[in-house]
Amino acid sequence: MEEAQPSMTYGELLRNANFRTIWFGQITSLLGDWFNFIASVSLIALLTGSGVAIGGLFFVRMIAPFLMSPISGVLADRYNRKYLLIASDLVRFVIVLGFFLVRTSEDVWLLYTLTALQLAVSNIFFNAKRAILPDVVPHRAIGIANVLASATWSVMLAFGAALGGLVAGTWGIYPAFAIDAVTFIISALFIARVKMRVHPGPHTKSQQPISGLQQFRDGLRYLRKHSDIMAIASHKAALYLFLTAGYEVIQVRIAETVFPIGIGGSLSLGLLYGMSGIGSGLGPIVARQITGDRLRAIRLAILVGYGLSILGLLVISPLNTFGMTLTGRLLHSLGTGIIWVFSTQLLLYLVPGHVRGRVFSFESALFTFSAAIVSLLVGNILDRVPDLTAIIRWTALLSTLPMLLWALWHRRGQFTSPSAQET
């Protein structure tokens, strides 16, 4: 891999009609996702004013995809990934319409239920979209396609969260839900234009449920056999467990009580997430100019990403001014973006296509379960410990653990090679 042929330019990549079509669908869908997220968080903050309730929403947003992950990985390896993407968009369109029924604090259960359903279906979409990437671009384009897709997520986070906060904070929360619903239809129309041949893997012939269970077990055996792949697939779990999930719950409280702008702090929350989008988009793009597609350099960049994220938390922790908080959020997201994108790139390079969906679903299960538990824990802590500064600093301290573990693994230097991918 270190001597791989030169990767594509962004212009060459966007001339690939299949990638371009999926990319346009991603743009519209993500715009709606962030409108929905800001609206949901703002709505539950308004209806309950409870840290536990907010933490509960984050818990639901993560436990639903965790429970779906074993199924979504098998689906992504058994069925046409294009059709899975379209079906997921259409089902989510119907689900999002239900958010209009949430009007009082007594309806919070419905908001949780709809969120769980939406995020469960989103997990199918998420894993299928990541697994389909090497199916629609040549091998030498995987690195740059992964960076562009991830940067798009970040840009739409910045734009969608800020715009969603503006809409929710100015015109109300429910128009944001309407925009989210429409974007799923637009996304499905884009993806329907993708033209690709389906090359079934060695386990896709049987469609019996017992065969699906066997496929899931085969995926776990593959991970046990390849410890380096297991380590890489654990990065997002570490990211959410230590750096992201807890802070996102805290960030809602920061926007709501420390720097409130707009209805329920929705505009300040949108700005914070907007800064996160800018950082997580720029981080991987800038880092890739240094690392290229060299695997060892990519691994080292992940270590740097942990350091930047921890530094960002320390800058945020005093909560002196909104400007410094935004600056810290930028640093934090620069690091988390590098960790997220480069760990995905390593998996795209190293994992063979017939097991790729299951590896990504295992990765998804790990980080969603971690995020769910941490969200509930921090939500309870917020109602008992009013000192946000202390909580953030403890988060930064604990985050040194995965950084040190990865540093030891990198120093060990016994990595999986692209030629050793057999199950």
Q: Over 90: is that where the pLDDT of 404 sits?
A: yes
pLDDT at 210: 44
Position 402 in a domain: yes
pLDDT at 209: 45
**Where on the phi/psi map is residue 49: left (φ > 0), alpha (ψ -120 to 50), or beta?**
left
- Distance (Å, rounded) from C-alpha 42 to C-alpha 54? 9
Position 421 in a domain: no
Position 19 in a domain: yes
pLDDT at 196: 67
pLDDT at 90: 93
Rounded mean pLDDT, 303-318: 94
Of residues 423 and 99, the one with the higher pLDDT is 99
Query: Can you give the CATH number for the domain in which 94 is found?
Result: 1.20.1250.20
End-to-end Cα distance, the chain: 19
Tokens 């199916």 sit on residue? 135
Q: Which of 111, 37, 58 is nearest to 371 (CA)?
A: 58
DSSP secondary structure string for all residues of 322-350: HHHHHHHHHHHHHHHHHHHHHHHHHHHHH
Rounded mean pLDDT, 67-88: 81
Domain membership of residue 105 as a residue range: 10-196+207-412
pLDDT at 315: 95
User: Which of 148-162, 244-258, 394-408 is most confident?
Assistant: 394-408
Q: Over 50: is that where the pLDDT of 401 sits?
A: yes
Q: Tens digit of pLDDT for each residue in 167-222?
A: 776 777 888 888 888 889 998 999 888 876 654 444 444 444 445 556 667 667 77
Q: What is the CA radius of gyration of the chain?
A: 20
Rounded mean pLDDT, 250-274: 81
Q: Which of 342, 65, 322, 361 is nearest to 219 (CA)?
A: 361
pLDDT at 259: 86
Query: Quick one: which H or E segment has residue 225?
Result: helix 209-225
Position 420 in a domain: no
- Distance (Å, rounded) from C-alpha 167 to C-alpha 64? 27
pLDDT at 374: 85
* CA-angle at 410, arms to 230 and 277, nearest 5°: 75
Q: Which of 22-26, 85-89, 96-100 has the lowest mean pLDDT?
A: 22-26
Q: Over 80: is that where the pLDDT of 350 sits?
A: yes
Measure Cα distances from 53 to 44, 60, 198, 252, 294 in Å. Answer: 7, 10, 44, 11, 44
Residue 421: half-sphere exposure toward Cβ, Cα within 13 Å: 15
Percent of the chain exceeding pLDDT 90 equals 17
Position 399 in a domain: yes
Q: Over 70: is that where the pLDDT of 230 sits?
A: yes
Position 202 in a domain: no
Position 422 in a domain: no
Instruction: Name the domain count of the chain.
Output: 1
Position 1 in a domain: no
Query: In terms of pTM, does the model score above 0.75?
Result: no
